[in-house]
Structure 1
Amino acid sequence: MEDSVNSDGWKPCELDPAGAGVAANAEGLVDCLRAAGDLGDLLAREKAVVFRGFGVQEHTLDQVMDLLLPNRLAYVHGNSPRTKVGKNVYTSTEYPPEFTISMHNELSYARRWPARLLFFCAKAPATGGATPVVDGARWLEALDPEVRQAFAGGVRYLQNLHDGYGFGKSWQDTFETDAREEVEAFLAESEADWKWRPDGGLWVSQLRPATVRHPVTGAEVWFNQFDQWHPAGLGDETAAELSAILPQDELPQSVTFADGSPIPGEYAVQVRDRGLEAAVDVDWREGDLLLIDNVLVGHGRRPFTGARRVLVAMSD
């Protein structure tokens, strides 16, 4: 199946060696990128770009990343399970292959988020495994006015990070450090509320906007991950059972309206489902790369079979 097109006709721009007039290898892609000029302008215009047929491999990836991601960032305060495999290069979310990962913008719950994301397909899945991408403005428009209005005050994200043993991620894994003072400095700069728990764990509360405007285009986009933090938006039985066993204030992560009041489950289901419905699937072939503007475009993952290996890195 080729990349799909959503109902508005948008899909990621696709570049290949023949169209760019360069060699079908990593060096050819480097030549293409150097000739392209300002990639920021390209991304603001196209929102997402797929590079196909350049034969990039893991050992030739760094030279491409250096151009696509000028300031590669660590995945600090990230909430999804990943493995670091290189210089601020990570596996994509390590989530059972039979489940869908709903649409989201990376680190939208954080004080600062990456401007760009780059995905690289080191090994294509046997079946499925597309990365769906959604135009954030289209996602916002797809929601009922009642839902959009309900989130005018923003979203409050709550985390309980254990000290090495427990459900979810530890605070050490989340912040890529075992120094409390570094975590405290990060959270203070992030304007988050936090407290250390008697068992050594960490409680964090953050108030974030539900929508933002792109700094270049001015487009207003749906930009939050509340549905992924809400029990009603969880798609696997283990997570649902966990929310039934533990009170909300002990869940690894949970979410409320800005004032602390509960968010109706039907809101989470609507946001999740309409984001997926508005998305465009990018199907993977080995060596493909996908560069997205992390504000203009949300992303997710379709279920798959086989040994899918997609790496991800990010940049400001």
Structure 2
Amino acid sequence: MNKNGKPRIIYPFGDKTTSIPMEDYQIDCQVFDSKNALENAVKEQWENKGLVVLVNTGMQHLSELQGWGEMIFRDFTTYEGGSAPRSKWSDKVFGIDDTPSNIDMCYHNEACYLPTFPRCFVIGSLACPREGGKTLASNNEVTSEAILATQVGQALKKKGMRYIRNMTDKYAGDQLVYKHWQDTFYTDSREEAEKYVKAQGWDYKWLPNGTLRT
């Protein structure tokens, strides 16, 4: 569910059963006598399995997610340049429920359109919905191997991929909105937005209605 109480549908691909037993990845935080012992268990599982599901954390606010993430890594990034609307729970913790309810949330890799993207990330919630609410995760190494075994995969490897983004102007009035360039780059200045775009090596163009196309 999004923050307006509307269903947020995330579509998996294929018609086969893709569920894995989540219990194989769970760590119950209540069974540890010390934070150090818990942290060691989290690190070990992350290194061995690449997925950690924490339960009974006692978390009271989503800003606390950063502390859990710091058990594994410290080099948190900002969300500058990201394409999805994001509210902020703290300096390094962002909401994922701000996408307009008419937009379907497809299964995806986070920020794959940026020159650098997360090697891992932490997600969490304070309450579980009565129905739905599934979080999809997959093994990217296995997925990549399967794609590269196809003609399409080899073509992607050889030719690469081009992303075209149209970021609307917050102050331009009635436009179909996903995310404005002002919110993408945390500035109302075209010059500052252009600095970021140029630093990434992107082609860009300002459209007559104020939209920034990259």
User: TM exceeds 0.5?
Assistant: yes
Q: How far 1:67 sits from its partner (Å)?
A: 3.6
Residue 79 (structure 2) aligns with: 75
AA of the residue aligned to 1:148: G
- Offset at 1:181? 2.8
Give, as a single letter, the amino acid of the residue that structure 2 aligns with 1:54: T
> Are 1:121 and 2:125 an aligned pair?
yes
Shift of 1:170: 0.9
Pair 1:94-2:98 in alignment: yes
Q: Deviations over 1:47-96 (max 9, x none)?
A: 21111122222177154344445133221111122222222211114347
Change (3 A) 1:32 1:173: farther
Do residues 16 (structure 1) and 19 (structure 2) align?
Answer: no
Q: Distance in 2 between matches of 1:190 and 1:54?
A: 38
Output the CA distance in 2 between the equivalents of 1:132 and 1:177.
33
What TM-score, normalized by structure 2, do the two folds share?
A: 0.73
The two structures, once aligned, show a CA RMSD in angstroms of: 3.1
Matches of 2:205 and 2:63, distance apart in 1: 43
The reply on whether 1:162 has 2:164 as its aligned counterpart is: no
SS of 1:172's equivalent?
A: helix
**Residue 201 (structure 2) aligns with:** 191
5+ residue gaps in structure 2?
1-17
Q: Secondary structure at the match of 1:106?
A: coil
Matches within 5 A, 1:303-314: none
CA gap 1:97/1:203 in 2 versus in 1, 3 angstroms:
closer
Equivalence for 1:261 = none
Structure 1: tracts of 5 or more residues without a match: 23-27, 205-316
Question: Where do residues 43-54 of structure 1 align in structure 2 (5 Å cutoff)?
Answer: 43-54=46-57
Query: Can you list the C-alpha shifts for 1:143-180, whole angstroms capped at 9, x where unaligned?
Result: 46122123121110001111114222110011122232
Counterparts of 2:189 and 2:165, CA distance in 1: 18
In 2, Cα distance between the equivalents of 1:201 and 1:66? Answer: 37
More strand by share: 1
The amino acid of 1:199's aligned partner reads N
- For 1:1-316, list aligned pairs within 5 A: 4-5=19-20, 13-17=25-29, 21-22=32-33, 30-36=35-41, 39=43, 42-58=45-61, 61=64, 62-95=66-99, 101-143=105-147, 145-152=150-157, 153-164=159-170, 165=173, 166-167=175-176, 168-204=178-214
Instruction: Check conservation: 1:12, 1:47, Cα contact below 8 A.
Output: no
CA distance in 2, matches of 1:44, 1:98: 38
Following the alignment from structure 2 to structure 1, what is the Cα–Cα distance between the partners of residues 55 and 20? 17
- Tell me if the contact between 1:33 and 1:67 (Cα under 8 Å) persists in the aligned partners: no
Higher relative CO (Cα under 8 Å, sequence separation at least 6) belongs to 1
Report how far residue 45 of structure 1 moved: 3.0
Q: Percent identity?
A: 27
Question: In 2, Cα distance between the equivalents of 1:77 and 1:120?
Answer: 22
The count of corresponding residues between Structure 1 and Structure 2 is: 190
Query: CA, structure 1 residues 99+126, in 2 after alignment: closer, same or farther (shift >3 Å)?
Result: farther
